[in-house]
Every structure is written in structure tokens, then in C-alpha cells.
Structure 1
Amino acid sequence: MLNFFKNSSNFPKENDKNRIWMDGDRLHYLDHGNEEEVNLSQLRYAYVQLLAGDPYLFLFDDHQHYIPARSQGFSKVYPKLSEQFGFDDALFFHTIKQKQDCKAKIWIQQQTRNYNILPGDFEDDHIGFEVYAEPTQFISWDISYADIEKLGIGHQYASEYGTLYFKIDYPVRIGNLWLKELEIYCDDIPPHVPIQEYFITIYDESNTDKSYKDLRDLWLDGEDYDAEDYGYEREDQCYLSFDFGDHISSSICYTYDDESNYDDGGTSLHFYNQRDYPTLLENPAYDQLIEVTELVKLKNKWDIKEDFRKNAAVKNIPTSIQQQLGKSSGIWLDKKNNKIGFAGRKTSLIYDIEDIDFFEIENVLPAKGPGYAILRANLINSSYNYIFDADTFELDPYAITLENWTHKRVSIPEAYYNC
């Protein structure tokens, strides 16, 4: 390895436009005047890449970093990185001398195998999954996030950007598949709603697509198949989905090296709960209390854009509102209960007025893309909901009604083109 570094002319000529340096387990570099940071303790893979003839060291630590190899200090930093991680230096220097744009993987973090195919004939993958805690627990796909937290089988954690996840601390079995560290997205999930999605990236010791092929063979029973019946299998990426029955499904995806993608050796595996839960739309307490102070029929029959599985404010349209609106969409005010409601085709959004910060109507003019308008409720907890979408400027006439009823501001920014 050191032979490559004895002659500094092996490295690209450095300039003073960019700079690179190390500080403990952090690698710092300047990119167009902005300082960026690589967490070396989280480094997953490294490439050398020629882009428009310029050499780059590409590092991935859950974020993509394109580091110019002409950066000031690169010839001092690269040998340290290579010694620490075991980069393929011969491949690095061979690649940066090429005339055509290209890239090559010079290192990947070796992962331990985190899945197994179990013998036997399990036929319960559409019902739920088994957690190998003490004692073992079989968990229904219908479990809510609030209830799975109470079981003591995992923990919540936040990414460096604040995204919340829940990781199951014990191995699980889904059908004949054994997995370690299955996870759940927690952000913006109503705690009472059954969990809609689980995920994991699975690895074979070879860090190849063997993990993808193992699961494909498991769920296709090793039979001949047409990939288009399940998804696609291309040179750059393979994606297949499988129906377990009873509205439970899974998907596997493996990405290979190409011009814009990087092969990280893992198969992305997801499980989806696509069941309907009509009881979540029921709102019997409010149905008995509702008192309509004002009601406006809208020009068109618009859909409520929010999903009741992700937003607890989405409910069935109250019977009294349906009777007054007929086939129209509408907005109603309930002064007695301090609520405002928006009725769509099949569902409604019902808010406590005090929870609303302001409304916004966004108008987009047609250009390369179509024109449209969106009515959005911005809530005091800093979240927001999309209520209706319509044609450009079609929602503007309702701004005065919303302001008068709720005494909340309705912002209508200047329209812009959908370029």
C-alpha cells in the first residue's frame, strides 16, 4: 500500500478551491465554500469516481459525500483513510488515471448475516410475526404503535436528523424467515392506528445480491417466474413484491452499481399492512354533540387529501352534514364545540379551531407541469395537513369564509409556475 504514497505525483494535483482534513472520527471537507462532515464511525462504503473528468472520493455514512481528490490536503488524508479502512489503493489510482468517466468500489463495510431461512412449513405470515423474547410472543399485524411499545420488546431512537424509529430488540420470525432488528417508522404515526409498515436491510456475509435471491426463492418457492408479474429485474435494480394474503404484503429491492446508483450489498425488505380499519373513521362522541352553526357547499366534489391511517383528524362525514351537503363537498362551523370541519367525497377533516395556527392556499400555474391549488391547515404544533386540492385559484373564494369563521389568517402567496 505504501508504495503508492511514496510518490506524491500519483495523486491529482491539489488546488486551493477546496480543503480536506481529519479530526478524530470526523472527516471535514469544504464543498463550494460550505464545510461538510463525514462520520467515519458510520462509514458504510467508499468509491473512487470520475465526474466530467475530475476525480472524487465518494463516501457514504448514511449520506452521500463527493469529495474532490484535488482538495488541498487530500494526499495526506487519503493514506490515513486507506490505512484505517483498507481501501483498494491499486484500484483507486488505476481509476483516477482513466480518460472516461467511471467509478469503482474501493471498500465496503462487511456486514454479518442478519437473516435465515427456517425449515418447516409456517403458514402464519398473513396473521402476524413471532418475537423470540422470553417468553416468545406472537404479534398480530393489527397491533398499534402504542400497544407494541407496551410489550417491552424494543426501543425508540432518533436519527441524527430527528427522525424517530422503533427497533425490535429480539429476532423475529415472519413465516419461514428469521430476521434480526426489524424496525418501524415512528414519525407522524397516530399511536392508536395499527402499524402500516416494517422495514429492515438484510445482508449475506458476501455483501452481494444473494440476500435478494434467497428471499425471492423463498416467496416464489423456487418456481419459474415472470419478473413483470411481481415487479422488475433490471441490470441496475431489482424490485419484487409479494402478497401474503389478507392485505399483508412484502417487497424486496436490491440496487446495483450504475451511473447514479451504488451497490451497498444489502436488500431493502419491507412489510406492509394494507388493511382497512373502518372503526378508525367512526366518531360517535362528536356525532352526538355536533351543532352546525354555518355550512358552505363547495363548487366541486373534492377529496380529503389526508389518510385516516396517518391522521387521527380524518373521520366519517357526520350524518347531519351528509344530509345537508348531498353530493357536494363542504365546510361547516360548529361554534358550540369550537370546531371546523371539511367534508370531501367519503371522509372529513375535523379540527378544534384552537389547534389551527393559520390556513394557506397555494396556487401553482401550469408550465412544464399542470396547474393546481392546495388548501393547507398549518397547526400550532408545527405540523400541517393538506385538506383539498383543486384547479388554480379555485380555492381562493373560500378564504374570507375561513377567516370570518375561525378568526385565523388565510395566507395566499403569489402564484408560481410549475416548472
Structure 2
Amino acid sequence: MGDGDLASELVEQLRRRGAPCLRLRRPTDRELARTLRDVPRFVAIISHDDIYALRLALVAEHAQPGVPLLVTIFDATVAAQVVRTVPNCHVVSLADAAAPVLTADCTASLPTTRAHQRLWSVATSQLRPYDASSRLLVYGVAGLAAILGAETFTNALAFGHPLTASFYDAAKATATVGPDTIADEGPAGYATAIGALMLISTALTAAATAGLINRLTTRRLVALVGRRTLPRRDHVIVVGLGQVGLRLCLMLRQRGVRVIAIERDAAMANVHLAKRLGIPVMIGDGSERGLLTRLRAQRALALASVTSDDHVNIAVSVAALATRPDLRVVLRAGDDDAVTETRALFPIGVVRDVNRLAAARFAEIALGPTPC
């Protein structure tokens, strides 16, 4: 059952292996129950709508209890309900079949890294500004800290005051809440310099405050500290945060590879899920060369474009190879001939037909392993 490209590919795979196959594109409950009167060897329900697939699985189980079922469901909560209610059901998804192959393609040239190298990679990605608000916040705070430190040590070393007293006076001046009594007693030139620094501190405080307010009042998918910071090198850029893209990000992270996802649609459900899972996401166009440069594609381990649109994947590949000609690029391909035709003209990367990969896996579940 199913009316998409994946269902068509599965029918082809089954018939190629000699299995008689009946396809229902979008059956009603009554039509499905009538068809299952002749007990089939196996029932496969292929749908991108998890709830629709769940309903068909329940109807099939009610019409023919115990019939072996294969149902494509991505959401773990829905999948758990199906398995609990229909124990004779194999719950799979397109992402389950395609992500392991795509992960292997992305990590084919994975260098051997030690624990301290991975820790260094994480440490160097902290507090790295990536947009205007983060730059205001980071540079504003860094500037205030530099002024505070310089004034504290100047008071302590040049004028011989205790470090605690020097810090207290410097903090008052930096925060513009009180005078620096050490500067009041010092040379006129030093007092002038401290006055100028107080004015600069006012501007830096305003900048840091503006950056902080912006970050607090808008949804942030990339963090300045923690797991959702932007990696700087030996990472994988995943374009497209659908089912395949999200599962690919998770599998790469399990392999110890840092990832950054690019998604055009900020309202997509997987964007919010990725945030909860600690995956950094940039909202934008993956075929934009400037964005790929900001994400350090020139230092990346690989780039995987796994959107459902072949033309978008081709555009991403072209932009990525323009950023770095020897970058390892992995593309998801569908039934469109655009990828094949473009690939014949010039190399665009490693191309994987995810529908064929998934259909072969599903056929193996239904009929058993292919005889050698």
C-alpha cells in the first residue's frame, strides 16, 4: 500500500525477486479489509504520514489478525504504539535504511582522532560568534573584560595598590557606577585614559545588552556554548532536515563526528526536534556559497545534501565544490533524471538513490535475504 516513489520501487524489487504483488495506492478501510480476505504472505504499508500508516496497520490487523506487516513510521512514539498493539509488525522507515549508507559515505575518509583532539575541537567552537547578535554579545563582553583586566593590573603593578582594591576600583569605573579613586590620585594622563575607557565601556555595555536581549527574545538553533555550537573543522554539513537528514545527523554524532544541519523551512517539525537533541541548525539556503563558507565547508570532512528535491541537491553540490573542489559531497537522489544527467557532465559527488536502498531493505524483510 502506498502511492509514492518508495512504494513503486518496492513493488519493482518484489517483482524482480519473483514475488506476485498487488498494489493498493490509497485504499479505504473497506477496500483494504476486502482485499485481505485472501490471506497474503506479507503486507507492506508505505506512507510518509505516520498516523495514516498507523491506521492502515490497525485495519489490516483487525481484518486479518496475525498477518505479517511492514509499516513505515518515523516518529518513535507512534512506532512504539504500533509495536505494542500489533506485535507481528516490522516498523521501519526510509531513514532507517538510507542513513547507515549515507553515514558510511560521509565518514569514508574519517581521520583517526584521539580523545584530546575531539575535546579541543569542542573547546575551540565555544564562544565563536556566527551572526550580528552573537557578535554584539561576545565582543561586547570580551571588550568589557579586557578593559577591566587592563585597568586592574595597571593599578596594581604601576601604582602598587593591592589587587583586590585595584579590581574594585576598576570594576566601578568599567561599570560606570562610581569613580576610580586610584585614577583620581594618579597622573592627569592616566585619569584621562580612564575617563575614555569609561565612555568605551558604556558603548560596549550597550552592545552586549542588545545582543543578550536579541538572543533571549528570539528562537536560537545555534548556541554560543555547549553542544549546539558551530564546529570549525572535521565536521559534516547536512543540508535538509527531513527524516533522512535528521537520522543522518544522529548517526554521525554516534560515530563521534560533529554535525551542522541547514534547513530552509524554519517551521519544519524536525527543526524543533533537532534543537532538543542538541544538533545545531542554521536556517538558510544550502546552495548559498556564502553560507557554506560561514559554516567552514572548506574545513569540513564532508557535505551531505539529502533534501527530497534532486535539483536542490545538485545546486548544493555545485556551491560546495566551488567552496572547496576536493570536498567529499554525498547526494540523495530520487527518481528524477536530473542527477544522472548532471553527473554525466561533471562529477557532483557520491550519489545514493535512497528509495532503492530502502526498497531493497524492505524486500529483504518481506521475502528474506537474497540468495547468493
State TM-score, norm by structure 2. 0.21
Q: Greater RCO between the two (CA within 8 Å, min separation 6)?
A: 2
More helix by share: 2
More strand by share: 1
